[in-house]
């Protein structure tokens, strides 16, 4: 049987019964039954609220429904123990024993049992909601961690074998030398595939789509995180294999034998900048690669040029 937090003396119990409303205990006509109920009322804190509870000792129960009263009070004691241990309460939607007790003994103060059950139901609902929030939070954190790992692996694969332009722009040369001709400009954050290096020069060989050339290694970084750029730009560089390239339309590969007969000049906008494009008459046969690159054959090697030559 539950040991209540505060036992109430018989004299005080009468005042308590009045405070709850004379309709609960006061309606009982049997004086002895009324007295046994009043002396068995106590107060408990449940779910943050102080409520009046009824526990009539079995030997003081005066009712034709005694067995139901004993069973109800034992069940409520069990709920209270589970509540104190922060455990779940399996409370039926309809408490059949209370319904039967009301039918067998209309004078019994079942309101105390019902009020106590209401608090246990509130507690169970609150516990369930709290556990759901914790579960949802844990699952959200788990999904975020899984995504972070997946993104990290994808990023590591994306940047493997690449170098990154770490200044406003760098010049792509046709030879590993400052005196080499400029093929084009490659801008900040661009991915350049590392193809090789020469110990005798500060240049490294790189690839940009179908174009190959040489770039001063002092203009490159081996990590995107080392690039000096705004956070938003860094996020863009990390999201994909980014590049911004502006070709030098005046560059003609040395192996190309052409007659510079200017036929037209076309204005082309590249990321906000304007360049002049010059076309030439020539007899070289240009070939478009499977990825869209434009090249011609020279001595068994592919020499790549601007894609417009294949138009």
- For the chain, what are the domain ranges? 6-128, 161-247, 249-311
Level-2 CATH architecture, domain 161-247: Roll (2.30)
- The Cα 275–Cα 308 span in angstroms is 14
Helices first, then strands: H and E counts in the chain = 6, 18
pTM over 0.85: no
pLDDT of residue 166: 96
Q: Are 58 and 40 in contact (CB under 8 A)?
A: no
* Sequence-distant (≥ 6) Cβ neighbours of residue 200 within 8 angstroms: none
Q: Please spell the DSSP secondary structure of 267-307, one letter per residue.
A: EEEETTEEEEEE--EE----EE-TTS-EEEEETTEEEEE-G
Closest CA to 125 of 89, 155, 161, 153: 89
Whether residue 7 has pLDDT greater than 80: no
**Greatest CA span in the chain, whole angstroms?**
125
Closest CA to 39 of 24, 51, 56, 27: 56
State the pLDDT confidence band at 38, using cuts at 50, 70 and 90. Answer: very high
Distances (CA, A) of 96 to 72, 80, 186, 268: 10, 19, 81, 85
DSSP 91: -
Q: Please spell the DSSP secondary structure of 133-193, one letter per residue.
A: HHHHHHHHHHHHHHHHHHHHHHHHHHHTTEEEE-SSEEEEESSSSTTSPEEEEEETT-EEE
| Of 94-103, 106-115, 132-141, the least confident | 94-103
Whether residue 308 has pLDDT greater than 90: no
């Amino acid at each position: 049987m539950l040991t209540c937090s505060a036992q109430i003396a018989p004299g005080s119990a009468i005042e308590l019964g009045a405070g709850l409303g004379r309709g609960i205990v006061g309606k009982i006509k049997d004086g002895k039954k009324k007295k046994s109920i009043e002396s068995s009322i106590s107060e408990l804190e449940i779910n943050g609220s102080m409520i009046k509870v009824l526990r009539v000792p079995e030997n003081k129960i005066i009712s034709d429904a005694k067995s139901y009263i004993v069973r109800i009070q034992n069940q409520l004691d069990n709920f209270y123990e589970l509540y104190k241990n922060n455990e779940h309460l399996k409370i039926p939607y309809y408490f059949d024993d209370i319904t039967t007790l009301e039918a067998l003994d209309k004078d019994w103060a079942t309101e105390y049992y019902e009020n106590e059950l209401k608090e246990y139901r509130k507690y169970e609902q609150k516990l369930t909601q709290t556990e759901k929030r914790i579960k949802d939070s844990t699952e959200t954190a788990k999904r975020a961690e899984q995504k972070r790992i997946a993104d990290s692996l994808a990023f590591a694969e994306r940047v493997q074998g690449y170098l990154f332009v770490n200044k406003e722009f760098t010049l792509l040369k046709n030879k590993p030398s400052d005196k080499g001709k400029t093929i084009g400009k490659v801008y900040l954050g661009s991915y350049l595939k590392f193809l090789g290096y020469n110990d005798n020069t500060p240049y490294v060989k790189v690839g940009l789509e179908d174009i190959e050339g040489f770039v001063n290694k002092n203009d490159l970084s081996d990590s995107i995180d080392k690039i000096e750029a705004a956070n938003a730009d860094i996020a863009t560089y990390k999201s994909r294999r980014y590049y911004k390239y502006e070709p030098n339309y005046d560059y003609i590969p040395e192996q190309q034998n052409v007659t510079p007969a200017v036929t037209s000049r076309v204005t082309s906008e590249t990321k906000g900048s304007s360049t002049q494009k010059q076309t030439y008459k020539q007899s070289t046969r240009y070939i478009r690669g499977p990825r869209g690159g434009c090249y011609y054959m020279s001595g068994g090697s592919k020499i790549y040029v601007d894609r417009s030559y294949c138009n």
